[in-house]
Amino acid sequence: MQSLIDAFHRAGQEHVFAFLDRLGPTERARLFAEAAEVDLVELDRLRRTLLGRVAATEIADVVPAPYIPLPEKGGDSEKWIQARAVGEEALRAGRVAAFTVAGGQGTRLGFDGPKGTYPVTPVRHRPLFAVFADKLRAAERRYGRRIAWFILTSHQNHDATEAFFAQHRWFGLQREQVHCLRQGRMPAVDPSGRILLETPGSLALSPDGHGGSLRALERAGAFDRMQAVGADVISYFQVDNPLVRVIDPAFIGWHLLTGSEMSSKMVPKAYPEEKVGLFCRQHGRTCVVEYSDLPLDRQREVDPATGKLRFLAGSIAIHLLSRDFARRVARGEGGMALPFHRAEKKVPTIDSEGRPVQPDRPNGIKFELFVFDALPFASNPLVLETDRAGDFAPVKNAEGADSPETCRDAQLRLFASWLRACGADLPVDASGRPAFPIEVSPLFGDDFAAFAESWRRLESKPSSITPGLCLGADS
Ligand code: UTP
């Protein structure tokens, strides 16, 4: 332990052990374990590069990134059909693994428990994890291959997540195919770069951002596991979006056909101020520019040729990464290390006497990695348009935009649109939402084609749709 204390001393972080004499054996052990997690060389680099200046993103020369439009929006229908076939072939060959990032703190939702355990569906109140598991089971049935599922957890929610899966018997998946892996943590620092203590015996540590997911895959040996089962494409999605097409053959096909190392889905921004990252090009590379970094007047620019927003392509955090590319980025090979971003936050800490301090304004800086920062490193990156109604309805906030209510409504609209397209009698309002809750299990249909096929095979179709209808609930 002395060597650890010495290393912190040399790094100018000796205050971390200032209260050592006051700690009992368990608290000491915890403090040493947390201190051992800190990469002092990395932290020193961040102190030199990211502190003392406002991190300005150079955006003067960014231009919108090109994207492949949906067939109904002018895309090449033949190519979409071909892509779907290529994706299906890859799925039948077992080349795809699923990866959910669920290590966030979910502070805006304010739900007590891992976000993936949040009951999200309109009738059965199925948790987010169950929805994804059902989608994976549907894909496994269709393509006849088991799909390995990796789930990024945090130190805070790892045990609860594993317990939840065990309690629900892995939602019908095989226990061995579900792998929870803990993401790394970073210490928060004060403006001079000194690590903040949360208590006299613990550091103020927080998850290292969704970009930390790649390092976590590497640490957990997940890339080797993928390789062992022949999976070379990683389907990456966030835990808060029950509409996501967890396994999307057309997307996978486009990714493979274009030789892309990282592919991303876009939706056209709903309105200029919508808070989504934007796919752009800068210095000949594709990147995501955060909405807060692009001035509003530029976000409102209209392309005179199309009459649409110039910066139209919103990121919905759905990506495909080729396994070997993700591994190279995780290892930082060839200068491909993801950059850290800094965020000023209110970090509960202690004063020089060890008494708790609840700051009322930002007192600390947190460091986070973002997965989309891998895009500029990728060869042949691809941005593909998707249909928002069928792929994106996140639960971020307790109320208002992107809340459980808007997400539930989006699910209702999607299910209603499928039923109505198959001729079911279901009145809806002007927005397409039915007046009462209904639900379609992904095991009945995880997209319209699958739904229509199951509907066609239904022996007794309901003559009209009644409240609480639940299709595929017993599957
Ligand atoms: P968000 O940016 O929505 O953050 O994460 P959050 O932590 O879930 O929620 P707030 O901001 O505290 O309210 C987007 C996705 O990235 C994952 C989240 O779990 C979510 O799926 N994520 C985020 C991680 O896995 N690790 C992180 O460190 C941060």
Pocket flag, ligand 1, residue 106 (CB < 6 Å): yes
Pocket flag, ligand 1, residue 100 (CB < 6 Å): no
Selection from 14, 10, 242, 240 nearest residue 122 by Cα: 242
Pocket flag, ligand 1, residue 108 (CB < 6 Å): yes
Q: Hey, what domains does the chain have and what are their CATH numbers?
A: 55-396 (3.90.550.10), 403-475 (no CATH)
Alpha carbon of 373 to ligand 1 centroid (Å): 15
Residue nearest (by alpha carbon) to ligand 1 atom 22: 104
Pocket flag, ligand 1, residue 185 (CB < 6 Å): no
Selection from 320, 308, 102, 292 nearest residue 210 by Cα: 102
- What's the pLDDT at 89? 98
Task: Please name the residue that has the structure tokens 């992107």.
Answer: 402
- What's the pLDDT at 439? 98
For the CA of 207, the closest atom of ligand 1 is 28
In this structure, is the dihedral angle defined by the CA atoms of residues 357, 363, 208 and 397, taken in order, positive or negative?
positive
Pocket flag, ligand 1, residue 105 (CB < 6 Å): yes
- What's the pLDDT at 463? 80
Tokens of 407: 């997400």
- What's the pLDDT at 177? 97
198 and 349 Cβ atoms separated by less than 8 Å: yes
Which residues in the chain come in under a pLDDT of 50?
none
Pocket flag, ligand 1, residue 152 (CB < 6 Å): yes
Residues 29-36: contacts with CB within 8 Å, 24+ apart?
30/201, 30/202, 31/201, 31/202, 31/203, 32/1, 32/4, 34/202, 34/203, 34/205, 35/4, 35/8, 35/203, 36/4
Q: Where are the beta strands (DSSP E) in 290-369?
A: 313-322, 340-345, 349-350, 356-357, 364-369
**Cα separation of 345 and 362, whole Å?**
5
**Cα separation of 431 and 438, whole Å?**
16
**Cα separation of 340 and 343, whole Å?**
10
For the CA of 103, the closest atom of ligand 1 is 25
* Other beta carbons within 10 Å of 33: 10
Name the residue of 239, 367, 402, 407 to mutate for ligand 1: max ligand atoms within 8 A of Cβ: 239
Residue-wise pLDDT tens digits, 192-251? 999 999 999 999 999 999 999 999 999 999 999 999 999 999 999 999 999 999 999 999
Alpha carbon of 105 to ligand 1 centroid (Å): 6
Alpha carbon of 103 to ligand 1 centroid (Å): 6
Alpha carbon of 207 to ligand 1 centroid (Å): 9
Pocket flag, ligand 1, residue 454 (CB < 6 Å): no
Residue nearest (by alpha carbon) to ligand 1 atom 9: 106
Residue nearest (by alpha carbon) to ligand 1 atom 18: 104
Residue nearest (by alpha carbon) to ligand 1 atom 5: 104
